[in-house]
Amino acid sequence: MATSEATTPQPKEPTFHLTYRFALFFIAGSVAAFAFHALTSNSSPWRQLHHLPAAHYLQTRDEFAVYSVDELNAFKEFYDKSVSDSVGASFSEAEQTNIKEAMGALRLAQEMYRLGKDDKALRLFEHALALAPKHPEVLLRYGEFLEHNQRNIVLADQYYFQALSISPSNTEALANRQRTADVVQSLDERRLLSLDEKRDALSGIHETNAALRRAKKEAYFQHIYHSVGIEGNTMTLAQTRSVLETRMAVDGKSIDEHNEILGMDLAMKYINASLVQKLEITLKDILELHRRVLGHVDPIEGGEFRRNQVYVGGHVPPGPGDLALLMQRFERWLNSEHSNSLHPVSYAALAHYKLVHIHPFIDGNGRTSRLLMNTLLMRAGYPPVIIPKQQRSKYYHFLKLANEGDIRPFVRFIADCTEKTLDLYLWATSDLPQQIPMLIQAESDSGEIAKLQSYSTVYETATDSGLSSDPGSGSGSDSDSGSSGNGTP
């Protein structure tokens, strides 16, 4: 006989409990809606302070539209994670001492600044930065010191940018950047206009001018000497000149070092003969340029994309499977209306950085990027820019900063080199002593770049070389090769 259990009826929830619960939901929804409106409203004071226009905070990344929006977002997630990991690592046991010492030096620097002991404060700020170069507080306070005491608003803005890259929610850095961004942009624009004035002055000198032709010849030798020197070539300027003029071997120098010089010469002649007059630079042109750079050292790899992954210092270039697509996008960017509307120096510097960042070749990336940069400058009436090999560390440092999100220091560096190259031509064609200045760019003990120094007696024999055409043919094996891991970033 089946027995059925009586089901105990559940008591009904009191009405006031339901009312109370609905009231909580309503209040929470209202608060959320208000917060969403405050964060998205353009008139919100919070948004005005915490959201800088793209032209300020992310201006430099917007210039680098090599990748799609989705890819940039993916890169940003990877970058943010890398930054987070690096910040965490900076507080690991191995780095804890440096962080503590940096904070101590920072506090002492601020105290010295308050007491008016600016020289001591500067040294302490520099010491703190050397110990903790990625600490947002150090970057922020040092930037404020540079802005208000040293009147170096450009470098201060750079440090504010770095602080924001590491700590995007840093309200003080955001406010400082909002104050300095427009001023720095104006200064950069004025600097570029001054370069145009020097370019125009050089253009006013007739090409048959004997002094100008001698200057072109000397600058040609220097350009090759410094470009291969950046990659580790040990030839002196006199030896470089000898190889180009005589095609004779130099005792004690490797075959590769000779071929690097000859490759640069061949590539520069190709630029003069084929690329300067072209309205558009194609991917085929870049490959042909690289084919000449590596033509003697590694003719198999010359003009070919790399087929394996490479590592360049802290930079990991795209994999070989992505190179064809990325280079096609780079070609489109190179010939886009937006890119061609940029100032020629900015455009050329950006093209240089983009190509070396993709790092499409197993070797010769740096030399090819510098040659492409000079091709674009020459099309705009500028002479080929000489990047002094003595500035190698700064050159790589500014490329590294560009990898971290701020291209402006690299553009300024190229602008500096452009101005000094223009000065070389203008100085040589003026009514001054019969010497051509050499871009020695030696660094003094204080780290300042020395002024142009004279090199030697000018060559008396004038040649018909163009802005970048003279002796040679060949290739190279530089530290811009990806496999070594210590090349151009």
Report the alpha-carbon distance of residue 100 to residue 92 in Å, rounded: 12
Within 13 Å of residue 149, how many CA atoms lie on the same side as its CB? 20
Q: Is 437 helix (H, G, I), strand (E, B) or coil?
A: strand
Q: What are phi and psi of 158, to 5 degrees?
A: -60, -40
What residues form the annotated binding site?
A: 312-315, 363-370, 395-396, 403
- Is 338 a known active-site residue? no
The three-state (H, E, C) secondary structure of 446-460, written as one string: CCCECCCEEEEECCC
Report the alpha-carbon distance of residue 185 to residue 59 in Å, rounded: 10
Report the alpha-carbon distance of residue 108 to residue 259 in Å, rounded: 54
Q: What are phi and psi of 55, to 5 degrees?
A: -65, -15
Report the alpha-carbon distance of residue 221 to residue 268 in Å, rounded: 11
Distance of CA 119 to the CA centre of its chain: 30
Given a contact cutoff of 8 angstroms between Cβ atoms, the answer to whether 186 and 56 are in contact is no
What residues form the annotated binding site for ATP?
A: 312-315, 363-370, 395-396, 403
Given a contact cutoff of 8 angstroms between Cβ atoms, the answer to whether 394 and 448 are in contact is no
What pairs with residue 443 in β-bridges? 449
Options 223, 296, 352, 359, the catalytic residue? 359
What pairs with residue 456 in β-bridges? 436
CA dihedral of 70, 72, 74, 77, whole degrees rounded to 10: -140
Q: Is the dihedral of CA 73, 74, 75, 78 positive or negative?
A: positive
Query: 295 Cβ partners below 8 Å, 6+ apart?
Result: 263, 266, 302, 473, 474, 475
Q: Is the dihedral of CA 270, 347, 420, 190 positive or negative?
A: positive
Report the alpha-carbon distance of residue 169 to residue 330 in Å, rounded: 32
**Category of 311 on φ-ψ map: left (φ > 0), alpha (ψ -120 to 50) or beta:** beta
Q: How many other CB atoms are there within 10 angstroms of residue 257's CB atom?
A: 21
Query: 413 Cβ partners below 8 Å, 6+ apart?
Result: 391, 394, 395, 398
Q: How many other CB atoms are there within 10 angstroms of residue 59's CB atom?
A: 17
Active site residues: 359
